[in-house]
Amino acid sequence: MALCCLVTVSKAAWRKWLPGAQRSIVPARAEGLWASLWRSSSSRGFAGRPPGITQTPTFGFLFDIDGVLVRGRHAIPAAREAFQKLTDSNGQLRVPVVFVTNAGNCFRHAKAQELSSALGLEVSPEQIILSHSPLRLFRQFHEKCVLVSGQGPIEENARNLGFQNVITIEALRKAYPLLDMVDQSRRPKELPPPTTDFPTIEGVILFGEPVRWETNLQLIIDVLLSNGNPGAELSAVPYPHIPVLACNMDLLWMAEAKMPRFGHGTFLLCLENIYRKVTGRELKYEALIGKPSIVTYHYAEYLIKQQAEKQGWESPIRRLYAVGDNPMSDIYGANLYNSYLKAAHQTQAQAGVLGSVVAAGPQKDFNLGNDSNVLMESCESILVCTGVYRHHRDMPPVSNVCVRDTVFHGHRDFCFDPSLVEASYVVQDVNEAVKLAFEKETWS
């Protein structure tokens, strides 16, 4: 099975994949980051091992949030039951847990506080992976002038991730007021003077769905068609265009409403189709991150191992259980990462070289840190019926029944493999998912 690149660049990159090729899992621009994360981890995170633990875990959980643990601002009742099983009498986690969400319109510490309140236990920011968290890896863009789109504290989030020259859509609109013409009430009453000394935009980062779609779509297209100079008039459309990095590819997500809501994947779909209709060419992404991208799951594995080390659990973490409600992101991503792990073990066995794995795209080796010589064995997917999935069809009577959607809701640049949307297990809710994993692990 050909694996999707952890950083998806184009459909063409997929066709370059050759079985048996020995490549690493993170692009060269991320080289050295993991080692620095390990060096800095001693000053953060989790307390020592709680008293009274008689079992040392060799497995961990990756929990999606919306539709699995909460619906909007309200906790799903089964989530509190699940975390009663996951914690000891002192409220300390008995196994490593990371929360992996495609949300990105907030800070990690704010999401941790929100979860702490909903679940009734202390959640650390170091346990949270937002859709944009892996952007820390993309150092080659950190000094470039980038346009950011989304909502919430996106400018501060971008700076916290390492980006030093950030321009928001609103700042661009104010600099070039003639570009935003859909809302007649915002059109300038008089012809504004020409804008001077505005920096050339060198990249576009799409953090999540914005509030004013028409404004964001128009200005992003303007930037792409003008090679980063929306005040200029070019004789020809530049192609390839300046780099575009996108976080969160979810077409739909589940809130309090009875039916799923549009996600950032829907916004990307609009942007891609407008660009193709205007130029006759495909919009290209330098990177697509967030679930189901492999880079997000690899980052989650790193945090799981870091958490286990902080707790003093000596046995290496071997297996992951990824619990989600969206077959096209949670299940697809977990299965994709499981396929990647299998390929890693196969390549290691054939070549006898740790760290060499099969992946799509030209990438270089890197050192993951203290636990780089221990490969994860598996990442099993568990689909729950409390979010997006239950609106597709009723829960099958058999827990491991084949689940395939007839319509592919995944992103354009991810090859559709029906087997990747088949969950390892289908259960009613997250409490049942935890019970299932405990039974498989013979965990009391």
- Residue 145 has phi, psi (to 5 degrees) of -80, 115
Q: Helices (H) and strands (E) in the chain — how many of each?
A: 11, 15
Which architecture characterizes domain 59-131+317-351+371-389+422-435 according to CATH? 3-Layer(aba) Sandwich (3.40)
pLDDT of residue 54: 59
134-187+197-288 shares the fold of 59-131+317-351+371-389+422-435: yes
Largest CA distance in the chain: 74
Tokens 């914005």 — which residue? Answer: 210
DSSP line for 116-180: HHHHTS---GGGEE-TTGGGGG-GGGTTSEEEEE-SSSHHHHHHHTT--EEEEHHHHHHHSTTS-
Which pLDDT belongs to residue 390?
Answer: 64
> Which residues contact residue 191 at a Cβ distance below 8 angstroms, ignoring those fewer than 6 apart?
none
Q: Say what the pLDDT of residue 394 is.
A: 41
Instruction: Give me the pLDDT at residue 190, please.
Output: 82
Could you read off the pLDDT tens digit of each residue along the chain, which spans 444 residues? 433 433 443 333 333 322 233 233 333 333 344 444 444 443 444 444 445 445 799 999 999 999 999 988 889 999 999 999 999 999 899 999 999 999 888 899 999 999 999 999 999 999 999 999 999 989 999 999 999 999 999 999 999 999 999 999 999 999 999 999 988 888 888 888 888 889 999 999 999 999 999 999 999 999 999 999 998 888 899 999 999 999 999 898 878 888 989 999 999 999 999 999 999 999 999 999 999 999 899 999 999 999 999 999 989 999 999 999 999 899 999 999 999 999 988 888 877 654 433 333 323 333 334 444 567 999 999 999 999 886 445 444 444 554 444 577 888 888 778 889 999 999 999 999 999 999 999 997
Residues 249, 329: contact at Cβ < 8 Å? yes
Query: What is the pLDDT, as a whole number, of residue 8?
Result: 40
Assign residue 228 a region: left if phi > 0, alpha if psi is -120 to 50, beta otherwise?
left
Specify the pLDDT at position 373: 52
Helix residue ranges per DSSP H, 10-132: 11-15, 33-40, 77-86, 108-119
Contacts of 104 (CB under 8 A, 6+ apart): 130, 131, 132, 150, 152, 157, 207, 208, 247, 248, 264, 290
Question: What is the dotted CATH code of the domain comprising 134-187+197-288?
Answer: 3.40.50.1000
Amino acid 354: pLDDT: 44
How far apart are alpha carbons 41 and 429 in whole angstroms?
33
Q: Nearest-CA neighbor of 206 among 243, 260, 257, 240?
A: 243
- In the chain, what are the domain boundaries? 59-131+317-351+371-389+422-435, 134-187+197-288
